[in-house]
Each structure stands twice: as C-alpha cells, then as structure tokens.
Structure 1
Amino acid sequence: MKIGDHVTIGEGTIVQAATIGSFVSIGKNCVIGRFAIIKDCCRIEDNTVIPPNSVVPSFSVYKGSPGKLVDELPESIQDIYEARTKDRYAKFIPSMN
C-alpha cells in the first residue's frame, strides 16, 4: 500500500487500497476496498464504501455505499488540505519552553 502526503483518514475507517494519492481526505467509518486506487486531491465522505478495484479520479468527492461521484473539488483544494494537515501536526509538537 502506498499513501501520499497530506492524507487524513478518519477513525473507524478500514483501508485496503493499493494506492492513496496526496492531498486526500477520507472520512470516518469508511471502507476502502482491496486494490482500490484513490488519485490525488479527493475527498471520501463519512460512511462511504469504495468497492475493490475502483479508481477514484482526482478532484472528486465520493459518497455512499457503494461510493459514487457526488461533487468535484476546486483546484485550490491542495493548498487547503496542506494547511489543514500542517495545523494538525503542529498541535502534536512539544513546545521547547
């Protein structure tokens, strides 16, 4: 399994994907099937099931069981996800005071 940079995976989610690209947000209680490929800059909504061998295209939003395309993301989503993951990471760094 390969997971890119700035990826968030919600609690209770099961991931068996072959590849998850960079700048991806996967919600809570999702199931990402075996050998699925999630391209860069995607959002998988809470409680979504991505079937095995599926390909989720870039800049897409998937929802449901089975997951279906419900929306598209703007090209600026990469900057938004990067800022969000950096903010979360900063909260885990101990202060040097």
Structure 2
Amino acid sequence: MNMIRTILESTVPISQFNRGMAGKIFDEVKKHGAKIVMKNNEPECVLLSPEDYIALIDQVNDAKLLLLANERMEKYDANKLVSHEDVMKRYGITASDLEDCDDIEFE
C-alpha cells in the first residue's frame, strides 16, 4: 500500500502547470524529490532537482567506467605487461626529461 501512495504522491498532472502552480511543484521537487508529470494519463516527463540530476549522471558515468574496467580486466594478461624502464627506453625518455613535468594526480 505504501508503494501506491508513493507513486501517487510523486505524480503531478500537467494541468497544474497550466493553472500557474509550477513554482509550488518545483518547491515540492526540491523538498521531496522527483515528480512524474502526467499528460493524458501517461507519463510525459520527470522533474528532478539539479542536484539529483547531477547525482544520477554521476552514477551513470561511474557504472560505465566500472563496466569498462571489468571488460579490460577480462582481457588482462600479465605476460603482455611492459615495464616502466622498457617504455622509457623505447621512446627515448630520460629521468631528467620527466623532472620538468608537473605531477599528475589520480583519483
């Protein structure tokens, strides 16, 4: 029963926008989360706060990166690794060449 109540409370008919209630609806989205806008008894769009939208996009991007990492790990072969020294030698890079570079931070 709570699920039905939650669904009903999260929907808003598009006619409320036409009646000048957009400000109130936007306030509800900020306070209580997403709203589903209904038009002709069908979902038309979803309203999210900017913070919730950014969080959602971050989660999608994190999921894509995790998928990519998992795909790469499936293809991982320790026998194909190239050492730091071999890369430096192959491309003619010396330790003094790297001293002029800024440090790179990884997250």
TM-score relative to the length of structure 2 = 0.24
Report the TM-score when normalising by structure 1.
Answer: 0.26
More helix by share: 2
Larger radius of gyration: 2
Q: Of the two structures, which has the highest relative contact order with CA contacts closer than 8 Å and spacing of 6 or more?
A: 1
